[in-house]
Amino acid sequence: MPRAELGTFPSPVDRLDGIAGCPELWIKRDDLNAEFCGGNKVRSLEFLLGGVGAGDTVLTLGGEGSTHVLATAVHAARLGARTIAVRWPHEMSPVAEWVAREAERHCAATIRAWTAVDGVARAGALRLTRRVHYVPVGGSVPLGVLGHASAALELAEQVAAGELPTPARIVVPLGSGGTAAGLALGLAMAGLETTLVCARVAPRLVSHRRRVLGLARAAGRLVERLTGRRVPAVRASRVSVIHDVYGGAYGRPLAAGDQAAAIFGAAGGPGLDATYSAKACAAALQIAASAEGPTLFWLTFDGRALQGVGDRE
């Protein structure tokens, strides 16, 4: 299938030794998988932007502070394409405001919607009237999920090479579900006995375990159709969702997330964003301090450009 070469892989894994009470905490540095605007979206966009070239128009959608919209615009431009984004308001942190400004700068055009439902309707109307390459919200469709199935296979190779022990668990933010679904599928394909812990950061309506499992299974069927080979089933018992780091609204900062980001930074860790990674980090620190075996925190946000932005992300 067409695949755009956007990322630099494998992304490194590091052990975090400077956090008290967390002797077996590791981090997967997916923030470093592209020169600019790295993070989890790079992996899905390699599949979702496959076949896009110079002069094409990409249509995507998301909230004002959507890293997906920003990443799509940035990486589509690397392929010579322009991006039209449909965006709607939600609660914003200083870093989300920065993401929104960057997205405005990189998108060829922005269409304002009142709500997510209105945004989906406006995007649907555009698809009927314009010739565009459509990238769904968050890239969370079976094709995009393949990016993180590949990421889990990459991790398995790093384990086999002795770069880290087999994680007892991986902690990852859970928004629209594509990243978590791909990791769940890839872990099953790799045969790693690792539990995926999804830290919910979005409303239950769109962010739940059933959606993760459904996306993983749909992506598995896609792999089977493409390769003619059987794919191991994702075991539901290997996927869990925790809800206590959700701040009550998408994009709303969480005090525990701010504290986790401060602890993380003091130990030499990279910057975290308040919407996704700081909340997942709070969950990872709590689990690593109380559970046996290695805990791997999967960093999905590239915070390298955020020095001087108003909060620690």
- Per-residue model confidence as pLDDT tens digits over 65-118: 999 999 999 999 999 999 999 999 999 888 889 999 999 999 999 999 999 999
pLDDT, one tens digit per residue, over 12-64 is 999 998 898 999 999 999 999 999 999 999 999 999 999 999 999 999 999 99
Q: Are residues 65 and 51 in the same domain?
A: yes
| pLDDT at 228 > cutoff 60 | yes
Which of 3-7, 136-140, 303-307 comes out lowest in average pLDDT? 303-307
Instruction: State how far the Cα of 102 lies from the Cα of 20, in Å rounded to an integer.
Output: 36
Residue 176 shares a structural domain with residue 207: yes
Burial of 307 (0-12, 13-18, 19+ CB in 10 A): exposed
d(CA 283, CA 261): 11
Residue % of the chain over a pLDDT of 70: 97
Global pTM value:
0.94
Do 176 and 290 share a structural domain? yes
Same domain for 190 and 225?
A: yes
Give yes or no: residues 98 and 161 share one domain: no
Predicted pLDDT of residue 308: 52
- Residues listed for the chain: 313
Q: How far is CA 294 from the centre of its chain?
A: 21
Its domain, for residue 213, covers 13-41+140-299
Tell whether 130 is covered by a domain. Answer: yes
Is 192 among the domain residues?
yes
Same domain assignment for residues 268 and 181: yes
Q: Classify residue 308: in a domain, yes or no.
A: no
Note whether residue 309 is domain-resident.
Answer: no
Distances (CA, A) of 148 to 32, 47, 215, 308: 15, 11, 12, 31
**Of 11, 44, 66, 140, which one is the catalytic site residue?**
66
Residues 280 and 194 in one domain: yes
For residue 303, count CB atoms less than 10 angstroms from its CB and return exposed for 0-12, middle for 13-18, buried for 19 or more: buried
Residue 103 is assigned to a structural domain of this protein: yes
pLDDT digits (tens, 9 = 90+) for 182-227: 999 999 999 999 999 999 999 999 899 999 999 999 999 999 999 9
Please tell me the predicted confidence (pLDDT) of residue 256. Answer: 95
The pLDDT assigned to 311 comes to 43
211 with 270, same domain: the answer is yes
Mark which of 139, 173, 208 sits at the end of a domain: 139
Q: What's residue 307's pLDDT?
A: 59
Q: Is residue 233 a part of any domain in this protein? A: yes
What's the pLDDT tens digit per position in 231-240? 999 999 999 9
pLDDT at 1 exceeding the cut of 90: no
Q: Residue 302: is its pLDDT beyond 80?
A: yes
**Is the residue at 87 inside a domain?**
yes
Tokens (6 digits) for 220: 């598995």
**Do both 282 and 198 map to the same domain?**
yes
CATH code for position 87: 3.40.50.1100
Our CA angle for 124, 130, 132, nearest 5°, is 85
Q: Which of 89, 119, 139 is the last residue of a domain?
A: 139
Q: Identify whether 310 is part of a domain.
A: no
Amino acid letter, residue 225: R
Residue 252 CA to residue 212 CA, distance in Å, equals 22
Q: How many domains does the chain have?
A: 2
User: Cis omega (within 30 of 0) on the bond before 253?
Assistant: no
25-29 and 13-16: which strand pairing? antiparallel
66 is catalytic: yes
Whether residues 94 and 146 share a domain: the answer is: no
What mean pLDDT is reported for the chain? 94
- Give the end of a domain, one of 107, 139, 171: 139
Tell me, yes or no, whether 217 and 286 share the same domain.
Answer: yes
265: pLDDT confidence band, cut at 50, 70 and 90? confident
- DSSP H or E run through 68: helix 67-78
Residue range 118-139: mean pLDDT, rounded: 95
Same domain, 270 and 184: yes
